[in-house]
Structure 1
Amino acid sequence: MSVRHDRPRPTDRRVRLQGRPVDAYPALPPEAGRGSVRRVTVVGEEVLHRPCREVTGFGTAELSALIDDLFLTMHVAEGAGLAANQIGVDLRVFVYDCLDDAEVRHVGHIVNPVLELPGPGARRLVDDLEGCLSVPGAAMAVPRTDHAVVRGFDRDGEPLLVEGTGYFARCLQHESDHLAGHTYLDRLSGRDRKDALRQTADRREEVFARRAARAAGLDRPGS
């Protein structure tokens, strides 16, 4: 999911890490300092359009490396969330670094997430612009509920519950959609979908160039 550039990510305000409050957190998550930049898949590639597989092995070096790579790739691509199939890995994992509407920063990862939304009587839909790192350069209004809960596990298999409101709730829904094999384009009318695809055709090379420049300019510990 693309970050909202009109709301810069603060480092000196309230932070919730893996759903729990912490006193402070660095601008660049430590995982990103260990990760490698991966290519972001784009809409139309098969891996984005089929459900991802459950993770069955926790506490492994491979799972930790995947999470690290997701964090760094998300940072380079200027994202607020990134799912594993967006770097070509069809496993049910996503990471996030996203502000909610109260400017609380939420940072973390979740494995094998299950999305829970309010019931119809308690549900409030909000239309807001939404972008996707796999639909580069496009943004469209998408209706989403203003509250969401995701239950799953951390990299070591410990249970997690992450709750979101506002834009962070949108992020949780967006990334959960990815793991089910959907992009936000699937929620648009035919006309709006064509508009989004026109936007990405016009802007994708500019987006790719900016990502390449950010990757080349990484200030990494020990580099």
Structure 2
Amino acid sequence: MEIVRFIIDNLDIIGTRTIEHISIVFLAVGIAIATAVPIGVAITQSKSTADTVLYLASMMITVPSIALFGLMIPLLSPIGHGIGYVPAVVAVILYSQLPIIRNTYTAITNVDPALREAAKGMGMSTWQRLRQVEIPLAIPVIMAGVRTAVVMNIGVTAIAAYIGAGGLGTFISRGISQSDPRQLVTGALAVSLLAIAADLFLALVQRLLTSRGIQGEVTP
């Protein structure tokens, strides 16, 4: 009951922290989409380049989040953003690269070769094939990578509270430092519910972006 009372008494603060959390994750993932999708498309032209890029992206995701946030401090301090919002966004951008690049690469390379040949036979250029055939067919798999990145980084962003970025992780960090289970449970519950809500929202976006002709073949 104490936890429920704490949540009710602090709904305004929880709302503010939730908005901070969402702003970090969705800005970072939005930038990651703008960079990772073109990279994923580009590396389909070379297997060796694809292996190298995916290996480097895999190495990045193995770095513990608290260590990566710590590395942001000396790297961004010279421009006055060693702690706070900016390093949190940069770290989440880096963590988002692998699932989006990997899914984009996989989706494009798995397009039926017969469809490519048909597009060539219709006189389409490489760019036209990519824009009108390959990308539309790849959307469900690319969106699956985006969903993975978002859900994963909602959890990662909770750690950003330790570098002053705000968000729902503030409740968790204060709950630990103050030995206050009310704040700890509130933060953990809010992060979990946000991750579920974001995944459901992106599943809807994925369905809206997916061509009706292949919706029946895609599992949300």
Sort the TM-score into its range (normalised by shorter chain).
under 0.3
Instruction: Give the helix-richer structure, 1 or 2.
Output: 2
TM-score using structure 2 length? 0.24
Greater Cα radius of gyration, structure 1 or 2: 2
Structure with larger RCO (C-alpha < 8 A, sep 6+): 2
